[in-house]
Amino acid sequence: MIFRNTDSHAILDNKTGKRINPAESIEIGDRVWFGNRTTILKGVKIDDDCIVATGAIVTRNVPANSIVAGIPAKVVKSDISWRLQR
């Protein structure tokens, strides 16, 4: 899993000198299951009871009780719950 709350390098507006790509927090709810090799980008909030599929790159907020997959990640199933027990 990779969490990227910054772009690593500052990008500045030449006219104002101000940074145009500031860092942003990432918020993760309760009971979120991450598959292998997932990437979560800055500014994203993942609500409770979600599943992030293997290899997904999450670029936008994820609503509660959802499965997201793909690049960029999209909701592929809603209104789900999951348990640790098999």
Per the annotation, the verdict on 85 as an active-site residue is no
Q: Which of 5, 6, 7, 9 is catalytic?
A: 9
Long-range contacts of 31-38 (CB under 8 A, 24+ apart): 31/82, 33/82, 34/1, 36/1, 37/1, 38/1, 38/2
The residues annotated with a catalytic role in the active site are 9
